[in-house]
Structure formats: structure tokens, C-alpha cells
Amino acid sequence: MQAAVIAAPGRAVVETRDTPHAAPGEVVVQVAACGVCGTDVHLLHGGFRAHYPLLPGHEFSGTVVEAGAGVTHLAVGDRVVIDPNIACGQCPYCRRGLIHFCENLTALGVDLPGGFAEYSVLPAAQAYRVPESLSFEAAAFTEPLACCLHGLDRACIAAGDRVVLLGAGPIGLLMLQLVRLAGAATVMVSEPVATKRELAASLGADEVVDPNQDDLAARVRARTEIGADVVIECVGAAATVSQALTLPRRGGRVVLFGVSPKEAEVPVRPYDVFINELTLVGSYINPFTHARALELLAAGRVRVEPLISHRLPLSRFPQALDLAGGGSAMKVIVAPGV
């Protein structure tokens, strides 16, 4: 089979590998669609647990073509989407239901071969059936949407809240739609790229702001009088994290959702957190939210087709990474079967 491989920092290639077969408890999936994530770009450049060579891709869907012994809930021909995060179920965190903090956590496309290949082998427990009404491309958004759902849970949005989102990339626009579904009365989106601002407006943002041209804090104060109830940072940059801390009202909440570089540091004045009684929370991957995300996609409550800006064959995987890392593209989908 053909598979995309990050062979070394900055070097992505497409090579021929043996087609995998299913061991007991596993399935082999013929990959139909795999989304390029910011994590894949980080892996290309040596970040986020990169150990080379690696076969990336953790946002993927496809068809079961082989089921190993003991697999009873899936059969050959089933359309599936994959939860890439594999918890051990035995460590202290897993036994407390905190599977995303598993001490032995592994992930398809990071620690194990992923979905940028014609075929992928994985534990059958990581595969969820996809209804016929949902396209493979739309199903490939299940994993990022599941992560956003966990972020939404951490945000604790109440009906009527005023929410500010920093960033209108694929994650920011998924979060925008979830925030709307959660009952936010007003949603403001800050995004420097004009085409992304336009897309945010079309997907329900009440106000879009170019942070390079406007004073975002002043615009938020003008809209809300006292500041946002909830601010969600979806960029993962030190500058936007610092900015996020200036936007909530007293007693407000800031969610750090974007993946910042490990070495990034942001100055925080403890007195401001104290006197304003701010709540600052993080959000990491998708504990027990994958099924909910798939339900939302299948019901059509979250629109993902407008988020797809590029569709490329597996042979153009290096270009897919360049597009995803360039800042102007939205979601890049790789179709291994094309």
C-alpha cells in the first residue's frame, strides 16, 4: 500500500509499505478521508511527541475490510470513523474516568501508524459506525469536533452568555457552532484573515473583528459593557493567550483550547486573577465525547462542508502539510483512495 511518512523533522514522503492485517481484537480500515490537523504540522517540525519515522493522521474515516478474531460489533463492509486516543484502562487516571490523562496513552497517527495511508490497522474498540447519510469527509471531522465538545464542556456556557472566540480556523469555526448550540446570546470572533472572518459570519458569528485593525478589547467592551462571560482561545499562540486574559468580565472564564508550543510563556498578574475572580481552564483531547460528536454530525447540527478548503490525493501529502501550515487554508482533506 501507499502511506505518507514523516521521516525526519521537515521531511514528509510517500512510500510503499506492507498492507497490514488484523490481529485478534483489531480491524483493518480502508481509509476514505483523513483531515490534516495542526498536530500533524507540529509533528512535521519536531513537536508533540514526535518519534521518527512516523505515519501520521488521526482524523480519519473509511470502511472495514478485515476483522480479527473476537471482533463482534463490527463486520467487513461497515463504514466507520476512528477515535485515535487509546487509553490503558488500568492506570490510576483511567480508573477515575480521566482517560485523557492515561499514564500509558497512545494515539493513532502519533505513537502508532495513522490514517494517511490506504489502509490502517487499529483496535476495533476505536472504531465507531458511521450512518449511510453521513459522508466520509464529514465523518473525518468527528475527532476534532469531539475535542471541541470537551472544550465546550470545560467552558460551562450558560444560555444567554456573551462569548468571544479567538481564531476562526477549522477549530474556531467548529467551536463557534457548538457555542451557538449551547445557547450563547452573542458570539464575537477575532480573526486576522478576511476569508476566515467571512466564513465565521456565515456560520453564525454576531460580530467579527480583525485584530490587526481594531482594538479587540474595546470592541468587546462596547458590545458587552463589562466584558465577555467566556473567552475561548483557539489559536495556540502566546500573543492570543495573553489577549484572551484581557477580555473576560469580572468573574468570567477563559478556556485555553489552542495547542501552544511547549516553550511558550505568558506573563500573568496573579492580582488580576484574584481581584477579578477569573477562572482559567485548559482542555485536552476528547474523553468520552466521540459518540456525541458523531451524533451531532449525523443530525446535521454542525456544518463541516464549508470548512473544507482543499482536497488532495495521498501522493500530494507534503503539499497538504504545507497548505495546513501556511495559515490561509481551512481544513485540508487527504483522500488515500484517489
Residue 299 lies in a domain: no
Residue 294 lies in a domain: no
Q: Residue 267's domain is classified under what CATH number? A: 3.40.50.720
Per-residue pLDDT of the chain (338 residues; tens, 9 = 90+): 999 999 999 999 999 999 999 999 999 999 999 999 999 998 999 877 788 999 999 999 999 999 999 999 999 999 999 999 999 999 999 999 999 999 999 999 999 999 999 999 999 999 999 999 999 999 999 999 999 999 999 999 999 999 999 999 999 999 999 999 999 999 999 999 999 999 999 999 999 999 999 999 999 999 999 999 999 999 999 999 999 999 999 999 999 999 998 899 999 999 999 999 999 999 999 999 999 999 999 999 999 999 999 999 999 999 999 999 998 899 999 999 77
Closest CA to 300 of 184, 145, 129: 145
d(CA 77, CA 70): 17
C-beta atoms surrounding 214 within 10 Å: 12
Shared domain check, 121 and 184: no
Shared domain check, 309 and 216: no
Shared domain check, 193 and 222: yes
d(CA 49, CA 244): 27
Residue 146 lies in a domain: no
248-282 exposure pattern, b = at least 16 Cβ within 10 A, e = fewer: bbeebbbbbbbbbeeeeeeeeeeeeeeebebbbee
Shared domain check, 201 and 269: yes
Task: Please state whether the peptide bond connecting residue 336 to the residue before it is cis, i.e. omega within 30 degrees of 0.
Answer: no
Q: For the CA atoms of the chain, what is the radius of gyration?
A: 20
By residue range, what is the domain housing residue 93? 2-141+304-335
Shared domain check, 168 and 232: yes
Q: Residue 32's domain is classified under what CATH number? A: 3.90.180.10
Shared domain check, 134 and 161: no
Give the helix ranges, DSSP H, for the chain.
Answer: 38-44, 136-139, 142-155, 170-181, 194-202, 216-224, 238-244, 270-275, 290-298, 317-326
Shared domain check, 322 and 219: no
Closest CA to 287 of 111, 86, 91, 90: 86
- Asked whether the whole model's pTM tops 0.95, one would answer yes
State the pLDDT at residue 274: 97
State the pLDDT at residue 250: 98
Residue 278 lies in a domain: yes
Shared domain check, 111 and 55: yes
d(CA 213, CA 124): 50
d(CA 217, CA 272): 16
Residue 315 lies in a domain: yes
Q: Quote the number of domains for the chain.
A: 2
d(CA 91, CA 291): 23
